[in-house]
Structure 1
């Protein structure tokens, strides 16, 4: 027995030693790729010496003697901090994720191959100005110089993820790769096709009047009537009536309600306490670790800019220079249309056009799969665009009748894409007029650009909107019949149709993805805008005081009060507050306690309080109670709180109160019945999740902001090591936005928020501030992987100064790049 014990103890010790050695080796290999910010490198590709000063938070301040050398150094810094993130974005655009992650990534690759983003990117690069193209090439040389340095110095392959998913060596970075990342961002920031497909699926089951309740046109429902679905129904039943599957974690395709969002606002000197303009911007994107944004400063003869960019793109996309600042917000332009193309029943290689039958363009591609497999994929295009293949992330089979295929038209697939010319020009702008001229060069993704200089503020919409014919049958709201000429685009909308204002008399501009133009179709830009609650709150807060300061703008960016809750709660609770109490046991006790708390609530989505949790769960349950009996399996399309729908029902707009009656029961339920039952549903769910309440319930415990590492963050054990998590406030419709999925195992999680916040103060520009949601480094072992995260959670900022002495004070190190002789 004693011998057996010794043997077992020896085996256990050997196992522990093996684990420790393995962990030590893994740590050693991972640590090899930690960036060294204090180093000198001799490199080919620069004309003169370049300094990269890493400030207290490892933000690179680049000092170069030429613009090309500054871009080279930016490429070096991006590759030093985020090489894995860059490679992941490049592979996503190319449709080559399955090579690293196996068959699970094939749906993404199939759809991306159809879009041909790299081919379109090559065309765009060829059409950019020679100066911009030279800067893109200098940036690519900087990335590649860093990759060579990693290989020659055995620096852990540049990032620890490459030990798990890397190949023999990284392909050189090219300007096409940078342009592909731009187009990938355009894809992430548009949900136009997803909205159109959802609308078609819903119209296959509900009436246009019902859809007007579920998916209302905002702000004026009477501008355009909903298109009839008769054209599509007459083609025959679709193959599927169910909602699409949940997206792959690495999918760049936005769901219908998950495109880009942002807040931007600015006031001129007449509205500022210090007598100079102020500007604030906080773009809302998916949360990830590392975050989407990377901070940098460029100083060279043609650049003097600081702000945030996206690794892989050679530009500062949101920032300021010595006399001009700008911020971006998604413009929600309807830049995509789905076309149903009729196939020739006698020859399915042909499809119908206004001129008769035409051949489909086809090509076969091979997708490599990790493990040695290869998938052969047949790709198809029509005159309108690519036909997404079945089994992909972008799959229109649920709305495609027999004998047809569905093609995607999208402005970002145009060979003329001025995005990089616009970005470079914006960095060099010195006045509002120069900023507006730079914005006019942009193609996709469409953005509202808020700008400020010493003389005032302004806002313009940048990006191409398609010009549809005035007699279009669908007006881009539902899939169009591809053989009808009236459904074709007529090219881009005229530039002078884009909304914009410079130096407004009011002295203030703002946008929260709300409607920006009252122009009628076809110059309308879109029918699908963000709900009005954020812009109403911004306008109210901007106008409640005569003068603003940098600090008041910072406070406003962190405003977590929901005007949506303030408006909707009295509608759904009034009959329960003032009506006859329903005494139905323990449920009634919980209900009355919750109603008493909500009666005193001011709408603040504080992480410390239970009221935001109760209200959000109630709204989610109320949507289900109102709509699930009519929609059945399609309810997943709209699951979650839908306040515009609830407002229409409880205000009985156009008879929308009919949704309160459950069509499958003989009784006639009232809206008060639905509110009470939904509240009981919500309180029961919360009790099951968090125990008896509501005293111990907290919104922050449910509304956890999780910055997920791709792909390690999805692994059960590794996720706890590489993901960044913390409780957060705000909600779907607060200025400090924290959007939740509204369904799934964690319906209240914060998954989409302001990964960047900036405030520019033109009274003293070097007092401007910025913050990203995680940190500069993409390396999980770096202290700069998450060193800004806690600041971001608290609503704090770091300095945004162009003064060299500010960067050098407390610097983490200085990298010097010198040219080879």
Structure 2
């Protein structure tokens, strides 16, 4: 018995020891020395109490190589999943449930755009050299260390990360900004199936022309709803963050306690673990940056150098059009384009699927762009829906733009960097050490034919979907050193200095109006404390604005004493959202109940769920 117990104890000890060794082998290195090929000199990495790396190198190439290495220590699985999502390769490691998601992302043609994008780059440019050093740091870490636990569990075989992966992740970010996939099928369905009066619910301009030509069948509508739902689920089910809104403002020195500009940035990105941002300080003799990076991107999207600080919000301009093609009854692979029948091109791809045979995906393209409802297979309906997307159609040197912004030391250099951001559209809110403040709505804005409203699916048999070029950057909304002494960016519809209309899926103005009221208060000197309080504020006029016409009706129709108490609770509510507010919860439930009663029966489950995920 004693021998048996001793043997059992040894087995337990071996298993426990093996478990400790296994876990320890997966942990990042925070102390000691590491040999890294390609370094031209020593690099020091210090981690602070929050685990943020502070990297100091003798040159910028070494600095970026070290950044790639330390970010891979912390985020290798995040990098792997994000590139697989963007490139349509999740089913290979997560199984057949992700086939539809892979089909969707492959239909977006991010893979092909990444390949052509990289082929067009200047391989001698400093930004390319920085990207290559960063990717080399990631790959050196991956090649020399045990696979992350997630790789072991899912059976992922490591493969090198490439520049095409970086551009693919940029494409994923651009897609996550694009509300058109969810919104345009919904609004077109409302207009053409329910009638124009229903559009008044959304407070939108609408085309009085009525239905599409060619008309969409009931099966087309059903499957456009499925496409809208798939678009939303693809990001949610992957467990990756979606980019939703953001607030930022900047106050000039004449309105601050310190006499220097004060910049506040509050990116609203859905919770994820790990976080979307990777915080790091980068230092070299000719460079200093404290910034926030995304997976596989070496250049900070938020941050500050010695001369400039900047934050981002979503521009929310509409840079994606959905287009209903008219097909030739005698040749279904032909569409009517500019007065003649034109063949659509097609190609095949194989999607690897864990535990089963690969799936073949046929991708078609019309003159307007990729056909995106083919992802639904035999259920796609009879009308091909093409996609025109700024990410595919513009040169979009966004990485070059942020490379230059990271090291901008003059206003002209920073402004030039902003012009390189084409898609997705981003509001750059900034301040510099000289006391300037400003905001640029950075995007390449397409010129659409007069009278065309891209909030609806466009008719590909006409000139509706044509693009006649792009507006110059000078037509983009922007401000530099306004007399009021502050700038607010909160996703509301901006105004172009050229007077052009900029279609988009903008948020309601209530949050921006609240910020504007508080920042404009005379006599207030802004500092970190009151700016933080402003950033954490939860009150807007939205709730009271919505309730004002409803409360008299509710008081008239509600008779139950307990329910009347709830009505009065709403009447006393100030429109804020503290954690313990039952009135805020009650208001949100009221909003849902009103939307459900007004629209659920008319829209059906699929389109109603889509409505809840849009900004209209």
Query: Against the structure 1 CA distance between its residues 539 and 396, is the aligned structure 2 distance closer, same or farther, given a 3 Å change threshold?
Result: farther
3-state secondary structure, aligned to 1:435? helix
Shift of 1:389: 4.6
Matched residue, 2:134: 139
What's the counterpart of residue 503 of structure 2? 526
Which of the residues 431, 451, 465 maps onto 2:445? 465
Q: Give the secondary structure class of the aligned counterpart of 1:616.
A: helix
Residues 482-493 of structure 1 correspond to what in structure 2 (within 5 A)? Answer: 482-493=460-471
Q: What is the distance in 2 between the residues matched to 1:23 and 1:611?
A: 52
Counterpart mapping for 1:52-71 below 5 A: 52-71=45-64
What per-residue deviation string (whole Å, max 9, x for no partner) do you get for residues 646-683 of structure 1?
Answer: xxxxxxxxxxxxxxxxxxxxxxxxxxxxxxxxxxxxxx
Which string of whole-angstrom CA distances, capped at 9 and with x for unpartnered residues, describes residues 762-781 of structure 1?
xxxxxxxxxxxxxxxxxxxx
Q: Paired residue for 1:165?
A: 154
Change (3 A) 1:458 1:342: same
Q: Residues 178 and 235 (structure 1 numbering): CA distance in 2 closer, same or farther, change over 3 Å?
A: closer
Over the aligned positions, Cα root-mean-square deviation in angstroms equals: 3.0
Secondary structure of 2:365's match? strand
Deviation readout 1:54-109 (Å, 9 max, x if unpaired):
11111111111111111111111211110000000111122110000111000111
Change (3 A) 1:543 1:415: closer
User: Using CA pairs below 8 Å that are at least 6 residues apart, which structure has the higher relative contact order?
Assistant: 1
Could you tell me which residue of structure 2 aligns to residue 177 of structure 1? 165
Normalised by the size of structure 1, how large is the TM-score?
Answer: 0.69
Separation (CA, whole Å) in 2 of partners of 1:576 and 1:381 = 53
The alignment partner of 2:152 has SS state of helix
Q: Would the aligned equivalents of 1:204 and 1:233 in 2 still touch at CA under 8 Å?
A: no
Residues 1:608 and 2:580 aligned together: yes
When residues 631 and 348 of structure 1 are mapped into structure 2, their CA distance, relative to the original with a 3 A threshold, is closer
Whether the 8 Å contact between 1:261 and 1:283 is mirrored in structure 2 is yes
* Deviation digits for residues 731-764 of structure 1 (CA, Å, limit 9, x no counterpart): xxxxxxxxxxxxxxxxxxxxxxxxxxxxxxxxxx
1:388-537 residue pairs with structure 2 within 5 A? 388-392=372-376, 402=382, 404-414=383-393, 416-454=395-433, 455-470=435-450, 474-517=452-495, 523-537=500-514
Indicate whether 1:347 and 2:331 are aligned: yes
1:273–1:548: 8 Å Cα contact kept in structure 2?
yes
Any runs of at least 4 consecutive aligned residues in structure 1 with deviations exceeding 6 A, and if so which?
Answer: 16-24, 395-398
Q: Distance in 2 between matches of 1:64 and 1:238?
A: 60
Q: Summarize the Cα distance change of 1:32–1:547 in structure 2 as closer, same or farther, 3 Å threshold.
A: same
- Structure with the larger helix share: 2
Q: Matches of 1:289 and 1:24 in 2, distance apart?
A: 28
Distance change >3 Å, CA 388–CA 592, structure 1 → 2: same
Q: 1-side partners of 2:594 and 2:347: how far apart?
A: 48
> Among 320, 323, 328, which residue is 1:336 paired with?
320
Q: Taking structure 1 as reference, are residues 375 and 27 closer, same or farther at Cα in structure 2, changes over 3 Å only?
A: farther
Which residue does 2:97 correspond to in 1? Answer: 104
Mean Cα deviation higher: 286-295 or 128-137: 128-137
In 2, the alpha carbon distance for the partners of 1:182 and 1:622 equals 38
Q: How many residue pairs end up in the alignment?
A: 602
What do residues 382-411 of structure 1 show as CA deviations (whole Å, max 9, x unaligned)? 12211125445xx9978x6x3x31111101
CA contact (8 A) 1:624 1:639 kept: no
Distance apart, 1:439 and its partner CA: 0.5
Give the 3 Å change call, closer, same or farther, for CA 202–254 of structure 1 in structure 2: farther
- The CA deviation at 1:289 is 0.7
Please state how far the C-alpha of 1:606 moved relative to its aligned partner.
1.0
- Structure 2 unaligned runs (5+)? none
Pairwise CA distance, 1:254: 11
Is it true that 1:550 corresponds to 2:528 in the alignment? Answer: yes
- Which residue number corresponds to residue 732 of structure 1? none
SS in 2 for 1:265: strand
Please state how far the C-alpha of 1:329 moved relative to its aligned partner: 0.5
Match of 2:589 in 1: 617
Mapped contact 1:201–1:241 kept (Cα < 8 A): no
| 1:149 equivalent among 132, 135, 144 | 144
Question: Cα–Cα, structure 1 residues 358 and 225, in superposed 2: closer, same or farther, change >3 Å?
Answer: closer
Offset of residue 633 of structure 1: 3.9
Question: Cα deviations across residues 773-815 of structure 1 (Å, max 9, x unaligned)?
Answer: xxxxxxxxxxxxxxxxxxxxxxxxxxxxxxxxxxxxxxxxxxx
Q: Is the 8 A contact 2:246 2:313 kept in 1?
A: yes
Deviates more, 1:601-610 or 1:304-313: 601-610
Matched residue, 1:284: 268
Correspondence for 2:185:
197
Contact 2:199 2:206 in 1 (8 A): no
Q: Is the 8 A contact 2:558 2:564 kept in 1?
A: no
Spell out the pairing of 1:16-95 with structure 2 (5 A cutoff).
Answer: 28-95=21-88
